[in-house]
A and B are shown apart, each in its own frame.
Chain A
Amino acid sequence: MFENLSDRLQRVFTQLGRKGKLTEKDVDEALREVRMALLEADVNFKVVRSFVARLRGRTVGSEVLDSLSPSQQVIKIVHEELTALLGEPSRLAASSSPPTVILLVGLQGAGKTTTAAKLALHLRKQGQQPLLVAADPYRPAAIKQLQLLGSQLSIPVFTQDGVKPPDLAANAIRQARSNGQSPVIVDTAGRLHIDEELMTELEEIKKKAPPTEILLVADAMSGQDAVSAAGEFQRRVGITGLILTKMDGDARGGAALSVKEVTGVPIKFVGVSERPEGLEPFYPDRLASRILGMGDVLSLIEKAQETFDETKAQELQKKMRSNTFNLEDFLDQMRQIRKMGPLNQIMEMIPGLNRLTSGAGQPSVDESDLKRIEAIILSMTPNERQRPEIIGGSRRRRIARGSGTSTSEVNQLLNQFKQAQQMMKMMAGGKMPKNIAGLFH
């Protein structure tokens, strides 16, 4: 069901390609696959309909029909259009008359309280002096939750027993103004968009504590109905930005597109991980790839970060920056990758690499490859591992004998390593390498 879009499109075009020249009807076939992929990604039904209709205009031109690789062209177009739709990332507004007030709203369980703490930490790191406001008097221990978070982060939390949220928020702003605290981040209770009482309360909060920003906190795994809630919040109090949470899961995140379309407001942040540091800027092209099921290198990095030893990761970073990454480190990384989990899963996350797993059902890099690489490196002297450039012909032959492999396999490893070094250099320089698959060939 969650078959990769590029695989599906390839299949469609391979079947069609046998007929000779592609026609508009053939492109419609492809667009059907795109439509399915988007629906499976939880993009809203109506949004998909209008998006695919728009796509048709672009895809029935010669750009696709005359192309040597029409599936690649379609993907390129779809990705571009999706990225454009998701919009540019945008900053938080600041109030011309401090304090800046940020109101967090959303359905139950979206992650407002955790996000409030993350936002506060993020802004404090930027030199501001945030004040958190616990304006959820309903949910058991909600106030306690925010207080604990505040105390863990040394960020003040404003609470007032028995005061209703609209007045409470107003009082918090008054305090912030006199103490020079800004921004004031107001955490509210999760509420249904059809709960008249609570939606009215929200309007009251807005009236008594006019916010600079009203951010809708939305769960990345939301389904088709996400637009109903978003639309209603927009209608009742107006939304100025979106924060997508739980993006470290494997939800495709199509609801993000729908909510953006329906509210017309920018996605300002994404939440990844429950930790207070887990707030990141929004990258439209990454989300577009994710929605299309095209692999998410970011997830791979995050997964890697979770299993990698923290100190080793820092050492690796240092080595990458100073270009001292050697075969010892390579061996180390291989072992770490092994710890990350079945290679299949990792491969599926890397665009381009995932194609290698789908056809044969077997990854072309497997455990025996890793064992072989390990044996080769272990047959090297420490000096050779640290300075692989000294490994000439006679050394290669010795290493091959010692590891029970052939000189061509040793050569292959050294080439792979050189490519890895180059990839490290590019990553350290901030560029993502285009062809990670090349690493394994």
Chain B
Amino acid sequence: MFGRFFRRDAKVDEGVKKTRSSFFGRISGLLGRTEITGELWDDLEELLISADVGVDITEEILGSLRVRHESGEFKSGEDLKLGLQEELIDLLKLEEHEAPPLLANGLTVVLVIGVNGVGKTTSIAKLGKYWSGQGRKIILAAGDTFRAAGAEQLEVWAERLKLPCVGSQQGADPSAIVFDAISAAKARGYDLVIADTAGRLHTKVNLMDELRKIRRVIDRHEVPSRSLMVLDGTTGQNGIMQASAFAEAAGLDGIIVSKLDGTAKGGMVFSIVADLGAPVRFIGTGETADDIAEFDPETFVGALFDTD
């Protein structure tokens, strides 16, 4: 779905047929009509919940829209749709101080974190290519020393992208690898270290402690560091627990929402941004190094209503 907005090469294959439930077609049709009926409110609720926006925010938004409607603000379904989009976009906008530029001017360390299987390593490949394109001199740190072939996976990408990568054996101390990568960056005049970490469930106390340790070790280098959490776009409400726990353990300077090229909408970001004030920086839309885009609230919300 998002791929259609963001893919730069013509990957929209004739054969790539996107199945979309007739539901969205109906919504689009209904919202275009003049009448605002009870059924329309139900359909809006279904749209939001089905997008993983969550019960609380859905009720909040619909409540607010109802008040506006009662005061005569909406004349048609189309007006209501625009009102809804407005409210959603508002939730995603953060103040300047809440979303400073992600990278510092000089050497910056970006620590990529998240639960298992969200797409951290693939996202690093994308970030590597993206920031290289902006002129950054990048060194990668293969900090997933736990999972079988975790480091190898990043090394394959490093090879493809022609980026240096600091790696080690399975079972090595991830803090040490990241530390070494920063030392190497300083010695060779690089200005960006992107560090991969092992996927970890946020409920595992010892693994979250390990993350705290990695951040402490990074701080020893006295270099600006940023934590970027990768959130799987198909995740449900648990995404909020994840963001909260990772924010507490390692800080949260940004979120990448991955796998938005499927049919999931990534709606849990509304809660995360509104409640935690954590900015969404990028979205991921596929498995190649090009499938990344900077996050834009208007486009993201527009895609919620996308009916292809």
Binding site for B on A (CB under 8 A): 1, 36, 39-42, 44-45, 107-111, 138-142, 144-149, 152, 192-197, 219, 221-226, 228-229, 232, 246, 248-252, 254-255, 274, 306-307, 341
CB < 8 Å neighbour of B50 from A148, A219, A224? A224
Q: Is B168 an interface residue (CB 8 A)?
A: no
Main secondary structure on chain B at its contact with chain A?
Answer: loop
Asked whether, in the complex, the Cβ of B206 is within 8 Å of the Cβ of A141, the reply is no
**If the complex has contacts A40-B237, A45-B49, A341-B205, are A108 and B119 also in contact, measured as CB distance less than 8 A?**
yes
Q: Which residues of A contact B13 (CB under 8 A)?
A: 196-197
Q: List 5 A-B contacts (CB under 8 A).
A: A39-B55, A221-B232, A225-B264, A249-B202, A250-B203
| Closest B residue to A1 using CB positions | B56
| Closest B residue to A340 using CB positions | B205
For the complex of A and B, 5 pairs with smallest distance between CB atoms: A109-B117, A223-B236, A42-B236, A140-B156, A225-B264
Asked whether, in the complex, the Cβ of A224 is within 8 Å of the Cβ of B238, the reply is no
- B190-222 vs A, CB cutoff 8 Å, 1 = contact: the mask equals 000000000001111110000000000000000
Bound-state CA distance A307–B119 (Å) is 29
Asked whether, in the complex, the Cβ of B17 is within 8 Å of the Cβ of A223, the reply is no
CB < 8 Å neighbour of B149 from A148, A225, A341? A148
Bound-state CA distance A12–B55 (Å) is 18
Whole-angstrom distance from the CB of B80 to the nearest CB of chain A?
A: 20
Bound-state CA distance A224–B236 (Å) is 7
| Closest B residue to A232 using CB positions | B19
Other than A219-B234, A222-B236, A224-B236, give 13 A-B pairs with Cβ distance below 8 A.
Answer: A39-B55, A45-B49, A111-B117, A139-B153, A192-B261, A193-B19, A194-B262, A194-B263, A197-B13, A219-B117, A225-B262, A246-B115, A246-B116
Asked whether, in the complex, the Cβ of B148 is within 8 Å of the Cβ of A223, the reply is no
Q: Which residues of A contact B129 (CB under 8 A)?
A: none
Whole-angstrom distance from the CB of A404 to the nearest CB of chain B?
A: 33
Main secondary structure on chain A at its contact with chain B?
Answer: loop
Interface residues on B, range: 35 or more
Q: Which residues of B contact A229 (CB under 8 A)?
A: 234, 262-263
Asked whether, in the complex, the Cβ of B16 is within 8 Å of the Cβ of A194, the reply is yes
Whole-angstrom distance from the CB of A60 to the nearest CB of chain B?
A: 22
Most buried by A among B117, B121, B147, B236: B236
Q: Which residues of A contact B55 (CB under 8 A)?
A: 1, 36, 39-40
Q: Is B83 an interface residue (CB 8 A)?
A: no
| Closest A residue to B125 using CB positions | A140
Whole-angstrom distance from the CB of A119 to the nearest CB of chain B?
A: 15
Whole-angstrom distance from the CB of A201 to the nearest CB of chain B?
A: 12
Asked whether, in the complex, the Cβ of B234 is within 8 Å of the Cβ of A107, the reply is yes
Bound-state CA distance A250–B265 (Å) is 22
Q: Which residues of B contact A110 (CB under 8 A)?
A: 117
Asked whether, in the complex, the Cβ of B54 is within 8 Å of the Cβ of A194, the reply is no
CB < 8 Å neighbour of B238 from A108, A196, A232, A251? A251
CB < 8 Å neighbour of A152 from B118, B148, B240? B148
| Closest A residue to B159 using CB positions | A140
Asked whether, in the complex, the Cβ of A225 is within 8 Å of the Cβ of B263, the reply is yes
Q: Is B91 an interface residue (CB 8 A)?
A: no
Q: Which residues of B contact A146 (CB under 8 A)?
A: 148
- B231-264 vs A, CB cutoff 8 Å, 1 = contact: the mask equals 0101111111100000000000000000101111
